[in-house]
Structures are given as structure tokens and as C-alpha cells.
Amino acid sequence: MTQPWRAAGAWRQWDRAVFAGVAGRHWPGAEPVLPKLSHAANHGRLWLAAAGVMAVAGGREGRRAAARGLGSMALASLTVNTVGKGTVGRTRPLLDAVPVIRRLHRQPVTSSFPSGHAASAAAFAAGVAAESGTWGTVVAPVAASVAFSRVYTGVHYPSDV
């Protein structure tokens, strides 16, 4: 049987190795997009805008999906940013391996785990999908991209998202 401390060490190695792989990989198409997407998701702005579009363009189903998505996001954000970050206190990755063009202009100072951006994105997408499979299909790839953007910009390890 694997000892828990060995499994934890292997997990940290994997986490750092994947982070280094993402940091060292050159994705020309992602460089102008993902840092902006990460920034757009600050304070839920991206999801508020998406909910507005859904409410206007989606009729009753879109309004219900938007409301459920926003409610889910609010609950996740409250939980992650109060309980999660206050409990764990994980340090953020070193930015040495991340190209300057990808780094956020303002680096976060809170705990790296859990990612508030990723939690909000996943909660919004799950709430929307629970109400409308069509809107959920539209929102899910954007939510996944926001989560990935947090690793891509160097502010989170993969296990944080």
C-alpha cells in the first residue's frame, strides 16, 4: 500500500511538472487571448456579461440559465474566497518559467489553492448547464479556458484549478 506522504510527494511532483510543461510550451494563438480572458473573469465580469447575453437572447430558458449560473457562481465564489483560501494558504508558483508576455499585470496575493476564477467558471457553467443544455454547451468551453488561463498565466498550479 502506498504511504500517504509518498502519494502527496508524487502529486506535488506531477503538479510542478505539468506547470513547467505549460510554462515552457509556446502557443502563439493563446498568448494574445488567455491573459485577457483571465483578466475578463476578474470579479465575475465575464460571467455577468455572459448572463446578460443569455437573458436577452435566450428567452425564458436563457433567463433561467443565467440566473442559476449567477447563483451558483456567487455561492462558489463566497465559499472559495472565504473558507477555501483562508484554510489552505498555498503559495503561488514561481513565475521564472512563464514568459513575460503571458503574465498578468497585477499578480494575485491570495492563496493559490483553490482558484477562485476556476471555481466561479465551473460553478457558472454547471449552473447554466443544469438549466439549459444548449447554453451549457456554449459556456463550458469558455469556463474550461478560464481555468486553463490561470495555469497558463502562471498564477496557479494545475491542481489549484
The structure's pTM equals 0.88
Q: Is the pLDDT of residue 138 over 90?
A: yes
Per-residue pLDDT tens over the stretch 31-82: 889 999 999 999 999 999 999 999 999 999 999 999 999 999 999 999 988 8
Element (H, E) at 86: helix 85-88
CB 161 within 8 A of CB 150: yes
Cis peptide before 114 (omega within 30 of 0): yes
Rounded Cα gap, residues 77 and 117, in angstroms? 8
Q: Is the pLDDT of residue 117 over 70?
A: yes
Q: What is the pLDDT of residue 8?
A: 65
Three cell numbers, residue 48 = 455577468
Rounded Cα gap, residues 22 and 55, in angstroms? 36
Q: What is the pLDDT of residue 13?
A: 86
Three cell numbers, residue 28 = 502563439
